[in-house]
């Protein structure tokens, strides 16, 4: 096995080499040594920054194959990338695993749950970006922008609600018109957040900036200053009956899978909108489609769905009160640098024997 200039470890025929370097307390007394395996391999620029963070006494294996990663695992203290049962079984002293994603439903496996290593994820790096996406949905529905876009394609000037858009110039807007009623005043609306983690909190802050009343439920009830009082999940029914916009920002866990089925959707107001930027598995797609067809709720905005990609013949595509974006709520030119910063920060914390950032419960998947 040899370490190339691009940082990628490639196998060499013949006997394998040990990758562990001995810790020299005289050269760096304040920090610990680190044997880190990365698989799949990252690009050379990121690798150089990881290597710098790990320090001269550490060894970082940037493996270009599963076989190479397996060679490094027996002496690895840490792992970054896609951990598999085979890689975990090959480890002997693994203490920390850094997931490259925030979601963990596709990452967790039974052996990892039982293993004593600490697992960290990427939560928090998408919060403001996804919150902006949510408020885009809210504003679109509140001001009927999706419907006006449809009319624009037809060259049709027609206020939603019917009748003239402008008041009589001789009298002014003396009465509330059907057009007025068809356009929501956000400060009169309530936004409910299901899952008030980092993303949900940012959604709440933006909603409050628009003057909206904010409610929240979470498995960890608490008070968030300037945002809302977060209730427990037993308060979900109350949130649904009060909210004009219901935002799902919860992770996919065994407890949240298909949380929004027919019985829960029926608790929502008939003039409310469901927004899902959490995980598609939380909402039963068939039950949601039925609720929309039967006008039990006013509409829905989905960045994630139970089936991805959503089939072209699915009825949701043709519903004018549904907004669908292709799992892009987290898209931003800022994310890649934040992603790397989490890795570098946790490497520094590990080497200084400090608590790691974004530690998750392996049993709860978040």
With contact defined as beta carbons under 8 Å apart, do 218 and 196 qualify?
yes
Query: Which is the catalytic residue, given 185, 308, 341, 363?
Result: 308
The CA distance from 18 to 108, in Å, is 29
Query: Which is the catalytic residue, given 244, 279, 351, 357?
Result: 279
DSSP bridge pairs for 78: 36, 96
Active site residue 262: no
Residue 329 C-beta-side C-alpha neighbours within 13 Å: 30
Interacting residues of 19 by C-beta distance below 8 A, sequence separation 6+: 1, 9, 35, 59, 61, 71, 72, 75
Active site residue 308: yes
Helix (H) / strand (E) containing 180: helix 178-181
Query: Which is the catalytic residue, given 115, 205, 213, 327?
Result: 327
With contact defined as beta carbons under 8 Å apart, do 77 and 94 qualify?
yes
| Of 365, 366, 364, 362, residue with least CA distance to 115 | 362
With contact defined as beta carbons under 8 Å apart, do 20 and 72 qualify?
no
**Token digits of residue 167:** 């008041």
Q: What is the DSSP letter of 343?
A: H
The CA distance from 257 to 242, in Å, is 23
DSSP 57-104: T-EEEEESSHHHHHHHGGG-SEEEE---HHHHHH-SS--EEE-SSS--
CA 329 to chain centre: 9
Active site residue 95: no
The CA distance from 82 to 244, in Å, is 40
Interacting residues of 43 by C-beta distance below 8 A, sequence separation 6+: none
Q: What is the DSSP letter of 274?
A: E
With contact defined as beta carbons under 8 Å apart, do 32 and 353 qualify?
yes
With contact defined as beta carbons under 8 Å apart, do 247 and 277 qualify?
yes
Residues annotated as catalytic are: 279, 308, 327
């Amino acid at each position: 096995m040899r370490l190339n200039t691009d940082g990628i470890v490639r196998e060499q025929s013949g006997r394998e080499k040990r990758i562990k370097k001995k810790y020299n307390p005289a050269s760096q007394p304040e920090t610990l040594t680190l044997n880190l395996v990365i698989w799949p391999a990252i690009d050379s620029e990121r690798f150089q920054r990881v290597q710098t963070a790990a320090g001269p006494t550490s060894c970082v294996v940037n493996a270009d194959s599963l076989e190479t990663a397996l060679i490094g695992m027996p002496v690895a203290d840490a792992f970054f990338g896609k951990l598999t049962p085979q890689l975990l079984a090959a480890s002997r002293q693994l203490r920390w695993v850094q997931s490259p994603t925030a979601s963990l439903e596709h990452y967790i496996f039974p052996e990892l749950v039982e293993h004593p290593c600490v697992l960290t994820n990427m939560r928090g790096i998408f919060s403001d970006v996804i919150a902006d996406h949510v408020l885009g949905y809210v504003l679109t529905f509140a001001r009927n922008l999706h419907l006006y876009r449809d009319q624009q394609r037809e060259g049709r000037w027609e206020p939603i609600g019917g009748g003239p858009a402008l008041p009589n110039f001789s009298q002014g807007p003396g009465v509330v018109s059907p057009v007025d009623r068809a356009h929501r005043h956000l400060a009169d609306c309530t936004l409910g957040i299901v899952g008030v983690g980092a993303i949900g909190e940012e959604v709440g802050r933006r909603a409050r900036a628009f003057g909206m009343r904010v409610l929240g439920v979470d498995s960890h009830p608490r008070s968030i200053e300037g945002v809302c009082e977060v209730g427990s999940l037993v308060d979900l029914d109350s949130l649904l009956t009060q909210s004009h916009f219901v935002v799902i920002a919860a992770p996919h866990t065994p407890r949240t899978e298909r949380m929004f089925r027919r019985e829960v959707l029926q608790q929502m107001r008939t003039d409310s909108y469901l927004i899902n930027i959490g995980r598609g598995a939380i909402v039963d797609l068939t039950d949601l489609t039925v609720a929309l067809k039967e006008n039990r709720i006013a509409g829905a905005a989905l960045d994630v769905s139970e089936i991805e990609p959503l089939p072209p013949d699915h009825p949701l595509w043709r519903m004018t009160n549904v907004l669908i974006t292709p799992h892009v709520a987290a898209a931003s030119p800022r994310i890649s640098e934040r992603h790397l910063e989490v890795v570098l920060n946790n490497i520094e914390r590990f080497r200084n024997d400090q608590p790691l950032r974004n530690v998750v419960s392996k049993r709860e998947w978040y």
